Amino acid sequence: MFLLINKASGPSSHNIVAKLRGITSLKRIGHAGTLDPFAEGLLVIAIKRDSTKKLTNLLKLDKTYEATLKLGATTDTYDKTGTIKKGKEKNLNLTEIKKVLKSFEGDSLQTPPDYSAKKINGKKAYELARKGKTVNLQKQKITIDSIKLKKFDNKKQTLSIEVNCSSGTYIRSLAADIGKALGTGAYLTKLVRTRIGPFKLSSAIHLGKLNSKNWIKHTFNNLPKLKVKKRILVFGTFDKLHPGHKSFFNQALKLAEELYVILARDKNVKNLKGKTPHHSELKRVESIRKLNLTKQVNLGSENWINRYRIINKIKPDIIALGYDQKVNLTELRTKLEKYGLKPEIIRLKPHKPSVFKSSLIKS
């Protein structure tokens, strides 16, 4: 069963799920994409195991948001819940604003907010940020299909926009980046999610209207045909990035729209090969990012359980292996099935292996 909820500003997505568990007396409930507590709008809820198992594809769906930005100031959280810092005053015109908005359309690399649930070495970024610790989050590839200017109030210095974007896009980060591009600074004062794939906010119900007797009347069982982007995952050391690696990535992108990379950590490489890579893990990550081919680059884990948790978060449709990558396929499939994952596993073709192989390249 599925349920469309119109979330109000205030409660977290987790709070909504907890209240629904109380209303339905069912524990197996999940959602297809978190909304920040201050944000409003559409939550797609899955109820019971048969439905929660289908959340994988729902999480990949494109989304639409309506956002209001306050210009001339910034906050540490990129929204109105943070500490406000005055920015620059600047007279803006519609032509300039539309030009800046247009520049954000298409594929790009976006840095998630420091105050986000993204994890760094097992800890949530916002937990580190609240303690005043440095947060270094990896950039991730996003796609913004369109940004429409809805309203510009020069007197109040507010900007209202509609954004159609890929999953994984942070509208808070987008607001901060728009503020930088305009030269004024900006932060979100309002955010409403109006669409997730084929599901629209207009079809959703407020939680306060549901009770133990009527909730089931608002559910549906059959999902419409979903248009989702295929995800392909590759993993390896990728030391001394060379044409062989680039061919590997490009082959992968012919099989799916989104490429995810899990990079072997320096310690893991040393344990396996007896020596550390020529380039450090951070340099290897940066080299891959600069290719602008990947949706996301993740550092692996020394712990096998955590490695599979990382894969589970990506939920790949395909796992692509190198021609010489030594992997126990039976073990890989068995461990993935524990998470309900059954990706296609394939091997990609080599590209001049007698020339382009890390162990053969000296410089």
Judge whether 36 counts as a catalytic residue.
yes
Tokens of 161: 């926009």
Lookup result for tokens 């907010």: 113
Tokens of 308: 């599979």
Cα–Cα nearest to 312, from 15, 53, 43, 28: 53
Q: Which amino acid is at 353?
A: P
The one catalytic residue in 36, 177, 239, 317 is 36
| Separation CA 50–CA 13 (nearest Å) | 21
* Helices and strands of the chain, counted as H and E runs: 11, 19
Q: Which ranges of the chain does DSSP label H, i.e. alpha helix?
A: 13-24, 49-52, 55-59, 94-103, 125-130, 171-182, 243-253, 266-273, 281-290, 304-314, 329-337
Residues 6+ apart with CB under 8 A from 253: 232, 259, 293
| Separation CA 286–CA 282 (nearest Å) | 6
Cβ pair 258, 230 in contact under 8 A: yes
Cα–Cα nearest to 201, from 60, 56, 21, 65: 65
Residues 6+ apart with CB under 8 A from 70: 80, 157, 158, 186, 187, 188, 189
Report the catalytic residues: 36
